[in-house]
Amino acid sequence: MNIQNMITAENVALLSVIITLLIFIMSRQAEIRYKKHEDKKVQYIKLINLMNKTMKKGEFQENSQGEIILTDEQRTEFFDVGASLLLYGSTGIYRKYVFFREFTTNPLIKCCSYYKENLIIYLMADILRTMRKEVGLSFFNSINENEALAFFVNDLTNNPEAKKKEIDARFHLFMIRVELFFIDRVNFMWLSKFLNWIIRPLFGCTRIMIKYLLVYPIIHLFSSKKK
């Protein structure tokens, strides 16, 4: 096939249209990615502000049972941050936020064998590290938990004792998650899900089918005969 014969005005015009369309699609995708990136930054700043308040002494009040009592303003702030992360944040960040919130408000976690109050700063560090990855920093720009906390906690980055505490904190957080997993199993949550997702809908659908396909037609038939 002669290449010169293919270079016609029609083919050149078609190629120009295709290239223009590809450039438009690529630029549009880049614009959407940038918009999502900017939305994430705004919502993540909200989360950082909330974590900052959580660290302040006296920010939250507790009742006689040790349960945290939230004011209406604090509930609104938790709701705003949670809803924003649910809509704009990644799955990883949202799940880490939920665990962070549970850690600060759920009395069940305080009853876990490996619970320590200072573990919350390592949860914050994990969230901050995840944020760094999601705003575009590569794997080679990753930092550890101590480095993530070093901007507001002194003597962490090059302190061997602090590094030991970080390793110990990772272990405790892992064991808390394991204990919560077994608490769910002991309370037969898996059985409750099985009953409510499979068994009860199955019996419910069967009951409705019998009611409308068998019982009602029979009642209608007998009623017609009596008339």
Give the per-residue SS3 of 127-142: HHHHHHHHCCCCHHHC
pLDDT at residue 61 greater than cutoff 70: no
Confidence check: pLDDT of 2 > 70: no
Structure tokens at 48: 């950082």
With pLDDT > 90 as the criterion, what percentage of the chain qualifies?
A: 5
- Predicted confidence at residue 149, as pLDDT, reads 75
Structure tokens at 193: 């899900």
Q: What is the mean pLDDT of residues 92-111?
A: 85
Q: Which of 40-44, 126-130, 156-160, 216-220 has the lowest mean pLDDT?
A: 156-160
Please give the helix or strand (H or E) that residue 158 lies within, else none: none
SS3 106: coil
User: Who's near 78: CB < 8 A, 6+ residues apart?
Assistant: 50, 70, 101
Q: Which residue has the higher pLDDT, 70 or 161?
A: 161
* Weakest mean pLDDT among 50-59, 105-114, 170-179, 210-219: 50-59
Per-residue model confidence as pLDDT tens digits over 154-183: 666 777 887 888 889 889 999 999 998 888
Amino acid at 212: Y
Looking at 40-49, 108-117, 118-127, which range is the least confident one? Answer: 40-49
pLDDT band for position 65 (50/70/90)? low
What pLDDT shows up at residue 174? 92
pLDDT at residue number 175: 92
Residue 172 confidence (pLDDT): 92
Average pLDDT over residues 144-163: 74
CA distance 94 to 170: 19
- pLDDT score of 206: 92
Q: What is the pLDDT of residue 45?
A: 84
Amino acid code (one letter) for 104: T
- Quote the CA–CA distance of 227 and 220 in Å, as a whole number: 11
Instruction: Give yes or no for residue 134 having a pLDDT over 70.
Output: yes
